[in-house]
Amino acid sequence: MIHEKMQEALNQQLNKEFYSAYFYLGMVDYFSHLDLEGFAHYFRVQVQEERDHALGFFNYLLKTGCPVQLPSIAQPPQNFNSPLNVFELALHHEEFVTQSIYSLMDVAQEVRDHQTQVFLQWYITEQSEEEDNMTRVYNRLKLAGNEGSGLFMIDNELAQRLYTPAVIPGVTLII
């Protein structure tokens, strides 16, 4: 049986991952209205990944017999100053999520929940990739600028991003 403190932390993370999907959906909206379809596509893929992350927590809670809480999802920002501003916020968000996953791992260690520690390991690796991805685009935007040919070149590159369904050990993502 999962410790109550762990159950609570896992449920909070479930909400944060669904919020992340919502957060990136706002960015799809922003870029779609600018007709920057490559950027919009990049965040559409990100939304799908966040949904996978959320379902990973959902299915882990179900699998371990924990009660699932589905509170409201907070409203994300939808007004941004520039593409660079979007990636600055996205990078900060991923850093926040990384710290949140680390806190979950701290709880799992505190209550000696080895099963959850194994489960969380996938998320720790994933967060490192998430931060790297956002940092790469952020740095390129800083170099190329927020407009002109540099921006369209990055837009073309981001259009190539592929969605690969997450394979999280021990949990199925089919809902």
Q: Which residues bind ligand FEO (CB under 6 A)?
A: 17, 20, 50, 53, 94, 97, 130
- Choice between 50 and 113, CB closer to ligand FEO: 50
Q: Write down the least CB distance from residue 110 to ligand FEO, Å.
A: 23
Continuous H helices in 34-147: 37-63, 83-110, 114-144
Q: Please report the beta strands in 15-123, taking only residues with DSSP state E, as ranges in sequence order.
A: none
Q: Write down the least CB distance from residue 31 to ligand FEO, Å.
A: 17
Query: Which region holds residue 21: left if phi is over 0, alpha if psi is between -120 and 50, else beta?
Result: alpha
Q: Write down the least CB distance from residue 126 to ligand FEO, Å.
A: 7
Q: Which residues contact 20 (CB under 8 A, 6 or more apart)?
A: 50, 53, 54, 93, 97
- Choice between 31 and 122, CB closer to ligand FEO: 122
- Choice between 95 and 150, CB closer to ligand FEO: 95
Q: Write down the least CB distance from residue 172 to ligand FEO, Å.
A: 18
Q: Are 60 and 171 in contact (CB under 8 A)?
A: yes
- Choice between 49 and 113, CB closer to ligand FEO: 49
Residue carrying structure tokens 């600018």: 34
